[in-house]
Every structure is written in structure tokens, then in C-alpha cells.
Amino acid sequence: MTGTNLECAESASLARKIRVQAARMIHRAKSSHLGSAYSMADLLAVLYGRILRIDPRQPEAAERDRFVLSKGHACAALYAVLAERGFFPKEWLEDFYQDGARLAGHVTHVGVPGVEVSTGSLGHGLPIACGMALAGRRDGSGYRVFAMLSDGECDEGSTWEAALFAGHHRLDNLIAIVDYNKIQSLGTVKEVLDLEPFAEKWRAFGWGVWEIDGHDLTQIEETLMRVPAESNKPTCVMAHTVKGKGVSFMENNLLWHYRAPDREEMSKAMVELGVEE
Amino acid sequence: MRGAFFRALVEIAEQDERVHLVVGDLGFGVVEEFARRFPKRFLNAGVAEQNMTGIAAGLALSGKIVFTYSIANFPILRCLEQVRNDVCYHNTNVKIVAVGGGLAYGALGATHHATEDLAILRSLPRMTVVAPGDPVEAEAATRAVTAHAGPCYLRLGRAGEGKVHQMPIDFVLGKAIEMRRGRDLTLISTGGMLGTAMQTADLLQAADVQARVLSMHTVKPLDTTAIESAVRETGAIFTLEEHSVVGGLGGAVAEFLAENCEAPVVFKRFGLPSEFSSFIGSQEYIRARHGLAAEAVAHAIRAKLEKVEGLAAVAKV
């Protein structure tokens, strides 16, 4: 049974916590990429609340599902959900990206339970995820490998090398989630390097593809519960998202790829997120 | 060296189920036995070295010992960031094997000359850099990098080189092998120049100059103890490599000497100039054109020693 009101309320609550924590982290650190964190916040909430077979007490258990954050710049959201799930103390979030901190501004595995892979240079995550998926299959293990990709990093040739490989080898334990927020570093995806027909590209590379609303918690959960999309194929979940989703003045605005909210913006954002400061 | 590597790898894979081989669509005629005997541990990643290296890291993060294999610069420079971030930063058990180190593919032109690899790989944190001198060392090095926990780069020459070692060797990563005793100077060789180093020592011997020869099969970590002894006991150091003189064995030894020797040491690097070689021809031909034949090396060593002696004599007057 999926997508009941209760479960959606849980996911919504977790997504809200992710957004609140990420804003606080980026505000304190005066760092970047809040918009990128927000576009995948609902996806992360469902993954970490409902989908991934993981145990914070055994972050390296052999049979755990693997989650690879390939869009490492959006790591504030991942750190937030890992802390919420108890992989490490929430206090670690407080000095994110600051002098002497444990948590770096692009996702880093060193000393951080629950982080499988360090990324930050784009186009690295999917090849590594392919290796993990292949190992799982060759070992007869039942774990799945989920990789979260940005749309911008689908400019990288290495992403398509891996897409070709996974399709050829029919890695049906591999799920790529594309956070298709349609804004990359210097403009819209359409302006910079158009990826359309995007879903068709993945299909042509041998993947089963589902297109979903990446902010519809029920749809996200129902989709991820049913992977693989097609038997004997890797799955691409093309999640249509909104950069900066959740705070009106950040939504669909390239500025929030870079800007850290100031005090006034924080107050407005917290109101929109339902937090009383 | 290539044959020695694959023979050793098959034997190792028989003993250790973690060992995987991932190739970049190269190795015709040499990878088949491994692929046939261990089909579930063999993978042809296609002509896609970035993905090959990322996959290797992913396999290694899942408990495997993964050899990637290709030729010349393809498994290292094409995918250098994957080597740095995915392999080294995650401290994975990935062993990168490049056949055709140096000028082995000489006649194919400069795209196939792997002549900066030692410098570049040596600069990566956690990377162990190994360039065996002959098939005997190549076999031992294959076993040693398998046993070593962490990323390694294994630079092989080509197929069919003769053995330089005539006896079994004691091969330890990071420990040079003394090939020949000598008191007048030390010639330190890495990779496939080992045979040339031995011939050079023979030529010097004929001129009554006793050269110590060290096979520095591991460029990183460098055997500084052997270098210190060589400085103390022979006073003159010459390095020999089929690699740019920038940053490889000669660079590594120069760094150590400059920082650690109280008195000036007679020192010279033999290698390739930091240029794209325009000579087309066999490995031996291109080596010779760059002054890396034994006769030329021996001559240059004697000239250097005579110059130093001359300066010393002038200083005394």
C-alpha cells in the first residue's frame, strides 16, 4: 500500500525539514546551490523515508541500497536528510561549509556515515553507480543502486558512456533519477545545451523511462515502489522539478543557484515553509 | 611484460575471487584467457575510459580488486579526473594497467607516446606508481599491487622484452633492487630502460668505471634509503627513464637530493625532452635519437664525470 494520506504527510514533513535545514545551512555558511537542493528535496524525502533499504545503525551493511548523489553541489539537502534519519548528529549541520567543519560544500564521504560517494565534478556518479550495480548483480545481491543526476550534468559525455553501458548490460538494479529542473549554471537547459527529446534519449540507450512530477509525493512514491520500469532494463525516472521549489521567490530563478539567503530572505522563506522563527 | 602480467593475473585470479579485469576494448589476443576462465569477473567496458574507471571504482567500493587495462595514455589521461576523484580520493582497490609505457608504440606517433604518465600519476595522493624493468619484475609487480590496499598504477612496456633478471627476485613495492654493485657512480633506472642501464654499466666497466645499478621499479613511494646510500657510497647519481625529464623518476630523485643532501651531488637525468617527439620509428630508434642508447648514455656519464673532475682539479689549483 503506497501513498496513503498518512505516508504522504510523513514525506511532506521530511521534505519540509530538509528545506528548512538546507536554508539554515546555506544561510549560515553563505554558500550556494539552495535552488538545486530544493528541486530534489521531495525526491530525497520519499527515497530516505519510504524507499531506500538502509539502516542508520549499519551504514555499511552489505545488502543496503546505495544512493549516489551525482549532483554533489546540492549536498545540503542530502546532509539534512541523513541527519534527520539519524546517520549522524544534527549538530553537524550547524557548521556546514565553514572552517573546521565535517561537511563540505560538495558531497563528501570522508567521515560522514551514509554518504556513499564524493562528487562535485559532474558526470562521475552514474559510472560509479554502474559499477556498484554490476557488483551487486554479479554477487547475487538484492540491493538497488539509486543515482540522482542533475540535468546539467547530462551535458557530460561520461554520463552517456554510463547510460550506454547500463542499457547494454541490462542493469535492472540501477535507477537514475534525473532532477530535471531545467536550469543549469548559466541559463536554462534549453538555452545552454538543449537535452530534448530527453526521455527519448534514455529510451534509445536501452532504459525504461518514467516521467513524473518530482514534487508530487504520492507519484514519486508509487513510481519508486514499482522499479524497474521495464524488466531487464535500468530505470530512468525523469523527474520534472522546479528549481528552488518550496519558496516562491526562489522558484525558477537562476539567481538561487548561487545566492545564500540573507536574514530578511530567511524570514520570508521560513514563513513560506511554515516555520515560526 | 604484457605476457608476464596476464600470466600472473590469471594465477592471482584463481586464488582470489575478488580480482576483476575491466578493459577498454583493447587487449586482442591477451585478455581472452582471463575472460574465458573468469567470465563473471571480466568486463569489456568499450571505448569509454571515463566510464571504465568510474565502474572500476564502483566495483572496488563493493569489495572487488579491479584491474583496468588499456594502452598508453588511454586509461590514465583520458580519464584523469576519474582516476583522481573516483579511484584515489575514495582510496579504492583499483589497479590501473597501461601497456605501452614510454615509446613502446613509437611508430604510432606522439598520441601513443606515454611519456608524462609517471609525473602525472606520481602527483596524485594515495597513488602508488610502479614501472617494472622487465618481465620478471612485471610478474612480481602484478602480485605486489594486488596485495597492496589502495590505488596503483602499473606501467608496462610492451610484449616480448627479454628478461634482465636472471635469478628470482625479492620484489617489494617502494624498495629498489640493486642489480649491480659499484663504487664510482649509481645509475638508477625505472621501467623498460633497465636493460639499457645494465648495458651502460658494462660499457663503463670496460672503461674501468664501476657503476652501481638500481632498478627503481617503484617511482612512488620512492626508495630514498637506497638513494641516500648511493649518494654516500658512490657520490654521483644518474637517472634513466623512458619518460620526460620533467617530473618522473629524474624529477623525483632531484627533489629528494635537493632537499636532503648537505653537499652538492653529481647528478644528471637521462630521459626525453619535454617535447612531442617527431621521430617516427621503432622504440629503439626513437630512444637512440634522444640519446637513450647505452653507448650514448655511457658517453654522457663519462663526460659529466670528467667535467666534474676537471672543475675539482681547477678548484684545487
- The string of pLDDT tens digits covering residues A152-197 is 999 999 999 999 999 999 999 999 999 999 999 999 999 999 999 9
- The string of pLDDT tens digits covering residues B38-75 is 999 999 999 999 999 999 999 999 999 999 999 999 99
B10 shares its domain with B146? yes
| Residue B263, helix vs strand vs coil | coil
B216 shares its domain with B86? no
B203 shares its domain with B262? yes
B129 shares its domain with B186? no
Instruction: Nearest by CB to B54, from A118, A127, A164: name it.
Output: A127
Taking an 8 Å cut-off on Cβ atoms, the answer to whether A124 and B60 are in contact is: no
A109 contact residues in B (CB cutoff 8 A): 90
> Could you tell me if residue B166 is inside a domain?
no
Beta bridge partners of B246: none
Which pLDDT score is estimated for A3?
55
- In chain A, whose CA is at the least distance from the CA of B47? A161
B16 shares its domain with B129? yes
The residue among B47, B62, B80, B126 with the most chain A CBs within 10 A of its CB, best to mutate, is B62
- Nearest-neighbour CA in chain B from A125: distance (Å): 8
> Could you tell me if residue B122 is inside a domain?
yes
Cα separations in angstroms, A98 against A28, A29, A78, A105, B230: 9, 6, 17, 9, 48
B151 shares its domain with B7? yes
Q: Where are the alpha helices (DSSP H) in chain A?
A: 5-29, 34-39, 41-46, 75-84, 125-139, 157-168, 189-193, 198-204, 217-225, 263-272
- What is the DSSP track for B122-140? HTSTT-EEE--SSHHHHHH
Residue A55, phi then psi, degrees to nearest 5: -135, 115
What is the tally of structural domains in chain B?
A: 2
Peptide bond into B75 cis (omega under 30): no
The complex's ipTM works out to 0.95
Taking an 8 Å cut-off on Cβ atoms, the answer to whether A165 and B55 are in contact is: yes
Place of cell 598520441: B111
A109 and B90 Cβ atoms separated by less than 8 Å? yes
Taking an 8 Å cut-off on Cβ atoms, the answer to whether A130 and B55 are in contact is: yes
Which pLDDT score is estimated for B288?
96
> Could you tell me if residue B51 is inside a domain?
yes
One-letter amino acid for residue B225 of the chain = T
Distance CA B291, CA B297 (A): 7
> Could you tell me if residue B211 is inside a domain?
yes
We report the CATH number of the domain holding residue B222 as: 3.40.50.920
Kindly tell me if the per-residue pLDDT of A277 is higher than 70. Answer: no
- Nearest-neighbour CA in chain A from B19: distance (Å): 12
B185 shares its domain with B310? yes
B145 shares its domain with B181? no
> Could you tell me if residue B108 is inside a domain?
yes
Task: Give me the sheet containing B42-44, strands edge to edge.
Answer: B42-44, B19-23, B65-71, B94-99, B152-155, B128-130, B218-220
Distance CA B249, CA A208 (A): 50
We report the CATH number of the domain holding residue B38 as: 3.40.50.970
B123 shares its domain with B252? no
Taking an 8 Å cut-off on Cβ atoms, the answer to whether A127 and B82 are in contact is: yes
B118 and B78 Cβ atoms separated by less than 8 Å? no
- Nearest-neighbour CA in chain A from B94: distance (Å): 12
Residue B240, phi then psi, degrees to nearest 5: -140, 120
A165 contact residues in B (CB cutoff 8 A): 45-46, 48, 51, 55
- Nearest-neighbour CA in chain B from A204: distance (Å): 18
Taking an 8 Å cut-off on Cβ atoms, the answer to whether B90 and A109 are in contact is: yes
pTM: 0.96
> Could you tell me if residue B7 is inside a domain?
yes
Instruction: Nearest by CB to B51, from A121, A138, A158: name it.
Output: A158
- The string of pLDDT tens digits covering residues B7-20 is 999 999 999 999 99
pLDDT tens for chain B, 317 residues: list them. Answer: 999 999 999 999 999 999 999 999 999 999 999 999 999 999 999 999 999 999 999 999 999 999 999 999 999 999 999 999 999 999 999 999 999 999 999 889 999 999 999 999 999 999 999 999 999 999 999 999 999 999 999 999 988 889 999 999 999 999 999 999 999 999 999 999 999 999 999 999 999 999 999 999 999 999 999 999 999 999 999 999 999 999 999 999 999 999 998 888 999 999 999 999 989 999 999 999 999 999 999 999 999 999 998 888 887 77
**Residue A1: pLDDT band by 50, 70, 90 thresholds?**
very low
Instruction: Nearest by CB to A127, from B43, B50, B89: name it.
Output: B50
The domains of chain A are located at: 5-272
- The string of pLDDT tens digits covering residues A37-93 is 999 999 999 999 999 999 999 999 999 999 999 999 999 999 999 999 999 999 999
B205 shares its domain with B140? no
- Nearest-neighbour CA in chain A from B81: distance (Å): 9
One-letter amino acid for residue A23 of the chain = A
Instruction: Nearest by CB to A118, from B62, B63, B85: name it.
Output: B85
- Nearest-neighbour CA in chain A from B39: distance (Å): 10
B198 shares its domain with B126? no
Which pLDDT score is estimated for B97?
98
Which pLDDT score is estimated for A2?
52
A76 and A44 Cβ atoms separated by less than 8 Å? no
Which pLDDT score is estimated for B311?
83
Q: Which CATH class is domain A5-272?
A: alpha beta
**Domain extent for B212:** 177-316
B149 shares its domain with B184? no
- The string of pLDDT tens digits covering residues A240-273 is 999 999 999 999 999 999 999 999 999 999 999 9
Distance CA B21, CA B42 (A): 5
Instruction: Nearest by CB to B90, from A118, A157, A158: name it.
Output: A118
C-beta atoms surrounding B59 within 10 Å: 29
A131 touches chain B (CB under 8 A): yes
B60 contact residues in A (CB cutoff 8 A): 131
Instruction: Nearest by CB to A162, from B43, B54, B81: name it.
Output: B54
Nearest to A228 by CA among A160, A273, A172, A188: A172
- Domain stops at, among B155, B185, B214: B155
